Amino acid sequence: MKKVNLLFLVGWVLIMLGIYLSTHWTIIGMILGIFGGLVMGGSSYFLPKSKKR
């Protein structure tokens, strides 16, 4: 699996887990949601760039 896909998937799972947990434990859910968003945003750093020839 590519690095971008893996980071995006992990970030998405963390955001969804944060949303679910925030209904019971607000602080933990909020932290997981923010961290998941950072991971998803950070995955865009590894998107393929055009190679110079």
DSSP per-residue letters across the chain: --HHHHHHHHHHHHHHHHHHHTTT-HHHHHHHHHHHHHHHHHHGGGS--PPP-
Distances in Å between the Cα of 40 and the Cα atoms of 25, 31, 33, 52 are 22, 14, 11, 27
More confident residue, 30 or 2: 30
Q: What's the pLDDT tens digit per position in 9-47?
A: 888 898 998 899 888 888 888 988 888 888 888 877 777
Q: pTM of this prediction?
A: 0.74
* Gyration radius of the chain's alpha carbons: 14
Instruction: Tell whether the model's pLDDT for residue 52 goes beyond 80.
Output: no
Query: What pLDDT does residue 40 have?
Result: 86
Residue 53 has pLDDT above 70, yes or no: no
